[in-house]
Amino acid sequence: MPGPISGPTPDWHDLAWGAVLALTGLAVAGYAALHYEFGTLRRMGPGFFPVVLGLGLAGLGLLIAIPALNRPGQVRPFAWAQAVGVIGSLLVFGLLLDRIGLMASTALSVAISSAVAPRGGLLWRALLTLAVTALVWLLFIAGLNLSIPVWPWSR
Amino acid sequence: MTTLDGLAQGLEVALQPSVLIYSLLGAVLGTLVGVLPGIGAMAAITLLLPITYYISSQAALVMLAAVYYGAQYGGAVASILLRLPGTPQSAVTTLDGYPMAQQGRAGVALFTAMISSFAGSMLGIVILVVLAGWLGQLATSFGAAEYTAMMVMGLVAASTIGEGRPAKSLAMVVLGLLLGCVGTDVNSGAQRFTFGQVQLMDGINLVALAMGLFGLAEVIGNIRKAERDGPPPRVSLRQLVPARDDVRRLFAPITRGTLLGGFFGALPGTGSTISSFLSYAMERRVARRPERFGKGAIEGIAGPEAANNSASITAFVPTLTLGIPGDPIMALMLGALVIHGIQPGPMMLEANPDMFWGLVVSFGIGNLFLLILNLPLIGIWVAMLRIPFRWLYPAIIVFVCLGVYSVRGSTFDIVMVAGIGAIGYALSVAAFSPALLLLGFVLGPLIETNLRRALLISRGDPMIFLERPVACAFVIATLALLALPLVGMIRARRAARA
């Protein structure tokens, strides 16, 4: 297996995530301290656990970010297209399911997610869309009889 | 109840047609996902989690467990034939399995992997029964302080023993613990971090979280990675038959691997992946000619495969007897039990003996089935290796959506999975472990409740954790685990200076 490739200093991944986690921790601890009762050790309030954990997360965030400042990072490829395609496909399905029904949202979702596949032509994508939509109908409507709007007009 | 009575009762449960079918189905599905590129046992169990709402608790757990150990069998096939581990547990198998395949001994390698997996599982079941009885007895004396200390130790062990920087692993655990706080606080009734959203009052849905972190993040990462060039070699049934010399060399590694895996599987924080690596290291150390390793040594397959299967069985020990999952897969199993209103713990052996023994017997039946099924079906599994991931993932995405939706008919949850998936993928690219986040999420509410209870009993005196001997031992172990990476860092720095 190929080893990790050294990238630029600082280690941007750890630096950025360390900072994000530290800020998240502080925000959570602050919000919990203001809104929920902290209580005492003897009677912990609902705020106790989040405040302590939030501060812990802030500390760990710093522990991640500070050493990353003068240390070379690794080149880690981020599959942007694939991430956008998959997340987009999910969002479309989730937001449209109630409006256009199962069949149409499945087809749309498959069309979007298969668009980011590294290989395969337009015909393959069209066939895959048809096949998955048919499979979903067979499994979930004919088979499991899921109560869900099926067609755009069946509401 | 004696072990024999228990086994008899378990046999009754496991042979019910409804349970048996799900056990066999899980075993086949598990092998399939182990073989198929781009989906692991974790993603498969996550995808099946919504189904468990609709079947009996016994059938649900038996099926999920079968997927887990089935994937170990399947994972070895991809490791040996393509040098691409189908599951992390089978990564070690590539080291000697792939060279064997290149030398034309793929069949023998596959046979070794399967028979070692089978033997490891069967002996693992024996270890499970012995340890569970023993630990269940011990755990009845545990109070809130012991539970708190033990769970914290488990989380720290999982963060510092695994791969990656300990600070990053611990941060994921803490983030998971925080996510576990979302929703109605069981102790005070306060709404925490719900921001007025009704959908968040029950907390973040375990299914949505797991699907986002594992289902989606894995799919995104694998779309390009899992594209393969070149078909795998063909394997026929006849090639599976090992020489007498090969068989003779299997016994010792399988025994050592099983014991090693059985031990580490039962510990919180360590699991089947680590035990397979340890077993490989051990086999190389005890070998008379260690230079054969990496070039197709049959012991290098037998030991680790026995170890990871044995570990995946004994991982159920802390989950079932203490109610504390040692790894994220066990966290999902625990989730499935809780969905059915069963709280695992020391009382489970008494209160739900049918569940425990049914599971134990189903392990045996499932593994026997896998051995019988997989030897003749090896040709089909090899053919499955040829399916490109791009044919599969669009359907997986739709199944994720429908799976999440089916839990409570909420499209809000689908959108939440999308968000969690995006964050989960970004985290995994930056080498943060989403598995630890899930572990923290599941254990969070348990830790908070027990911590509160322990401090209530001691009237706010934190010394309770040091005064009770068992709790104190856990605390000391936790501190030692935290000190471990520090010692390593100081040594590395000294070595760099010298």
- Determine the Cα–Cα distance for residues B342 and B358; give it in Å rounded to an integer: 15
Query: What pTM, to 2 d.p., does this model score?
Result: 0.84
Cα of B426 to nearest chain A Cα, Å: 8
Nearest alpha carbon to residue B124 among B279, B303, B311: B311
Q: What are phi and psi of B192, to 5 degrees?
A: -110, 130
* Cβ atoms of residues B235 and B378 within 8 Å: yes
Could you tell me if A38 and A47 are in contact, meaning their C-beta atoms sit under 8 angstroms apart? Answer: yes
Confidence of residue A1 (pLDDT cuts 50, 70, 90): very low
Under an 8 A CB cutoff, do B401 and A63 touch?
no
* pLDDT at residue B127, rounded to an integer: 92
Calpha distance B78→B89 (Å, rounded): 12
Residues 443 to 462 of B: which have CB under 8 A from any A CB?
A: 448, 451-452, 455-456, 459-462
Q: Please check whether residue A59 touches B, CB under 8 A.
A: no
Half-sphere exposure at residue B34, Cβ-oriented, CA atoms within 13 angstroms: 28
Kindly tell me the number of DSSP H helices and DSSP E strands found in chain B: 23, 2
Burial class (CB in 10 A: 0-12, 13-18, 19+), B249: middle
Amino acid at A26: L
Query: How far is the C-alpha of B274 from the C-alpha of B73, rounded, in Å?
Result: 17
User: B103 vs B72, B96, B236, CA distance in Å?
Assistant: 24, 11, 15
The H or E element containing residue B206 is: helix B206-210
Provide the residue-wise pLDDT of chain B in tens; the chain has 498 residues. Answer: 577 888 888 888 888 888 899 999 999 988 888 887 667 778 888 888 888 888 888 889 899 999 988 888 888 888 888 777 767 777 788 888 888 888 888 888 888 999 999 999 999 999 998 888 888 788 878 888 988 998 898 888 888 876 678 889 999 999 999 999 998 887 777 888 888 777 788 888 888 888 888 878 878 888 877 665 556 666 666 677 777 777 788 889 999 999 998 888 887 766 777 788 888 888 888 888 888 888 888 888 999 999 989 998 998 888 888 888 877 888 888 888 877 878 777 777 777 788 888 888 999 999 999 888 887 888 888 777 777 888 888 888 898 888 888 877 888 889 999 999 999 999 988 888 888 898 899 888 889 988 999 998 888 888 888 888 889 998 998 999 888 877 877 777 777 776
The number of distinct structural domains making up chain B is: 1
Identify the pLDDT of residue B102: 82
Both structure tokens of B320:
């079932």
- Closest Cα to residue A117, out of B103, B395, B182? B395
Alpha-carbon distances, residue B257 vs B47, B274, B289 (angstroms): 31, 12, 19
Residue B351: CB partners within 8 Å, gap ≥ 6? none
What is the rounded distance in angstroms from the CA atom of residue B40 to the CA atom of residue B64?
A: 13
**CB-based contact B224 A118, cutoff 8 Å:** yes
Q: Between chains, do A60 and B192 touch, taking CB under 8 Å as contact? A: no
Do A89 and A139 belong to one domain? yes
pLDDT value for B273: 77
Residue B23: helix, strand or coil by DSSP? helix
Q: Which residue of A has its CA nearest to B173?
A: A57
- Which two tokens mark B56? 């009996």
Nearby residues of B95 by Cβ (< 8 Å), 6 or more positions away: B280, B293, B294, B300
Structural domain that includes position B386: 3-497
CB contact, 8 Å: A8 with chain B? no
Mean confidence (pLDDT) of chain A: 86
What is the C-alpha to C-alpha distance for residues B138 and B389, in angstroms, rounded to an integer? 47
**3-state SS of B45-58?**
HHHHHHHHHCCCHH
Could you give the residue ranges of the DSSP H alpha helices within B17-165? Answer: 17-35, 41-48, 57-82, 93-102, 106-139, 144-161
Q: Is A78 on the interface with B (CB under 8 A)?
A: yes
Backbone angles phi, psi at B112, to 5 degrees: -60, -45
Q: Is A46 on the interface with B (CB under 8 A)?
A: yes
Same domain, A42 and A87: no
Q: Which domain holds residue A32?
A: 12-68
Distance from the Cα of A105 to chain B's closest Cα (Å) equals 9
A4 in a domain, yes or no? no
Asked if residue A4 has pLDDT above 60, the reply is no
Two structure tokens written together for B166? 């300990």
Give me the pLDDT at residue A2, please: 42
Task: Please tell me if residue B379 touches chain A, with a CB cutoff of 8 Å.
Answer: no
| Least confident segment among A24-28, A49-53, B83-87, B486-490 | B83-87
Render B157-193 in DSSP notation, one character per residue: HHHHHSSS-HHHHHHHHHHHHHHHH-EE-TTT--EES
In a domain, A149, yes or no: no
Report yes or no: A15 at the B interface, CB cutoff 8 Å: no
Using a CB-CB distance cutoff of 8 angstroms, which residues of chain B are in contact with residue A120?
390
A53 and A93 fall within a common domain: no
Among residues B316, B324, B330, which one has the least CA distance to residue B153? B324
Give me the number of domains chain A comprises. Answer: 2
| Res B255: pLDDT | 92
pLDDT of B376 reads: 80
Chain A neighbours among B 146-185 (CB < 8 Å)? 165, 167-168, 170-171, 174-175, 177-178, 181, 185
**Rounded to an integer, what is the distance from CA B259 to the centroid of its chain?**
18
**A7 within some domain:** no
Residue B181 C-alpha, separation from nearest chain A C-alpha, in angstroms: 7
What is the reported pLDDT for B229?
53
- Cβ-Cβ contacts under 8 Å between A and B: the total is 171
On whether any CB of chain A is under 8 Å from the CB of B223, the answer is yes
- Percentage, residues of chain A above pLDDT 70: 94
DSSP string, B254-301: HHHHHHHHHHHHHSSS--HHHHHHHHHHHHHHH-S-GGGTTS--THHH
Which residue type does B38 have? G
- In angstroms, the separation between the Cα of residue B261 and the nearest Cα of chain A is 25
Interface test with A, best of B402, B415, B420, B482 (most A CBs within 10 A): B402
Interface contact A146, partner B, CB < 8 A = yes
State the nearest Cα–Cα gap between B214 and chain A, in angstroms: 13
Question: Residue A73: how many CB atoms within 10 A of its CB?
Answer: 18
- Beta strand pairing call for B183-184 and B191-192: antiparallel
How many whole angstroms separate alpha carbon B199 and alpha carbon A94? Answer: 15
Is residue B405 less than 8 Å (CB to CB) from chain A? Answer: yes
The predicted-structure confidence for B242-301, as pLDDT tens digits, reads as follows 777 777 888 899 999 999 988 888 877 667 777 888 888 888 888 888 888 888 888 889
Q: What is the largest CA-CA distance in chain B?
A: 70
- A152 Cα to chain B: minimum distance (Å): 16
CB of B310 within 8 A of CB of B89?
no
Q: Could you tell me if residue B404 is left (phi over 0), alpha (psi between -120 and 50 degrees) or otherwise beta?
A: alpha
Q: Same domain for A59 and A93?
A: no
**Would you call A23 an interface residue with chain B, using a CB distance cutoff of 8 Å?**
no
DSSP letter string, chain A: -PPPPB--SS-HHHHHHHHHHHHHHHHHHHHHHHHS--B-SSSB-TTHHHHHHHHHHHHHHHHHHHHHTTS--B-----HHHHHHHHHHHHHHHHHHHHHHHHHHHHHHHHHHHHT-SS--HHHHHHHHHHHHHHHIIIIIIIS---S--STT--
Please list every residue in chain A whose beta carbon sits closer than 8 Å to the beta carbon of residue B224. Answer: 79, 82, 118
Residue linked to tokens 């611990």: B170
Say whether B322 sits in a helix, a strand or coil.
coil
